[in-house]
Amino acid sequence: MALFKKRTVGKPGEWYYCLLHKKVEEGPECPAKDRFGPYASRAEAEHAMETARERNLEWETDPKWHDTPTGTDDD
């Protein structure tokens, strides 16, 4: 008897973006390592890559996450 059941069908209204197939899925069709989500709507899942790019840019330009003290020259 398995301790954990593999969930093959998602809840209605759960949307994911599959990184492997580059498509939107309702419910988790692909493994978690290959998808973003869940999203509340299909439209949100369709924009998953754009959202990820925006978040990455925010993180890369966030001064709180840089080791260089303000006012010093790295060049």
**pLDDT tens sequence across 10-62:** 677 899 999 999 999 998 889 999 999 999 999 999 999 999 999 999 999 88
Residue 27 included in any domain: yes
Q: Is residue 46 situated within a structural domain?
A: yes
> What DSSP designation does 39 have?
E
Total number of residues shown for the chain = 75
* Inside any domain, residue 22: yes
Residue 75, domain member (yes or no): no
Where is pLDDT greater, at 68 or 50? 50
Task: With respect to residue 72, please indicate whether it lies within any of the assigned structural domains.
Answer: no
User: Is residue 20, in this structure, part of any structural domain at all?
Assistant: yes
Provide the domain limits for residue 22: 15-62
Query: How far is residue 65 CA from its own chain's centroid?
Result: 20
Comparing 63 with 54, the larger pLDDT belongs to: 54
> What pLDDT was estimated at residue 57?
93
Do residues 52 and 36 touch, judged by C-beta distance below 8 A? yes
How far apart are the C-alpha atoms of 25 and 29, rounded to whole Å?
7
pTM of the model: 0.68
- Does the pLDDT value for residue 8 go beyond 60? no
Confirm whether 55 is domain-assigned. yes
3-state secondary structure of 70: coil
Identify the residue whose tokens are 């840019």.
57
How many domains does the chain fold into? 1
